[in-house]
Amino acid sequence: MRKPCCEKQDTNKGAWSKQEDQKLVEYIQTHGEGCWRTLPQAAGLLRCGKSCRLRWINYLRPDLKRGNFAEDEEDLIIKLHALLGNRWSLIAGRLPGRTDNEVKNYWNSHLRRKLVKMGIDPNNHRLSHNHHRLPNAGTASGSATTSASRSHASHPPEKIQGENDQALSDAGSCLEAENHRAMVDLNLDLSITIPSPQTAAIVDEEERRQNEYTISRELEFAPSSTLLLFM
């Protein structure tokens, strides 16, 4: 079992006085931090070694940064918490002048609530289930229900049924007309045939014979040049 650093009955408890703070600061500036177990006795303090360490780190260090956290510090804490979790000493080591206790308190009091308001789970830094739904889903369904109820209120059931029957009848007529038009186009397409090469050759032969016959008839009835000379 580890021996305690001091006897609890011989140590002071409660708030630190200005004289105690001055003794601790002067000793550390002269000798350095050293071993916290032996520091209180060497500095002439009736305090526990843990109490001296926390007092120095959280309140008396000359490089401590006081005041509110800046926006870039908040963003860095959130990013580091997503990577490291609740390892406050490691997170505070990336923030010069900030202590792990100060960072932890600021996370629990401010940043955690900030993420919850943004719809982010502060434990795993993911969107909560309530924000996966579409924001206008309820409004759209409500407006659809309202419009449907207004339609039923303004038109009686008999009129609505008659309009539906008329719409079905018009749709059936249009469908029949389209089918008839399609059948007519189909018949026209089937009636048109493309002539085969043999048929085209016969037609060309008939035209050639007709042309030869016409030329021979014209030569037969044409006046002869010999007759013209003797005349």
Residue 66 pLDDT exceeds 70: yes
The whole-number pLDDT of residue 98 equals: 92
The pLDDT value recorded for residue 209 is 75
pLDDT in tens, 184-194: 444 444 444 55
- Least confident residue range of 42-46, 78-82, 187-191: 187-191
Mean pLDDT rounded to a whole number for the chain: 73
Mean pLDDT (whole number) for 154-176: 55
Q: Among residues 48, 36, 43, which one has the least CA distance to residue 12?
A: 48
Q: What is the DSSP string of 127-186?
A: E-GGGSS-TTHHHHHHHHHHHHHHHHHHS-HHHHHHHHHHHHHHHHHHHHHHHHHHHHHH
Q: Which residue has the higher pLDDT, 168 or 90?
A: 90
User: Using one digit for the tens of pLDDT, what is the confidence trace for 193-202?
Assistant: 555 555 556 6
pTM above 0.85, yes or no: no
How far apart (Å, rounded) are the C-alpha atoms in residues 47 and 36?
11
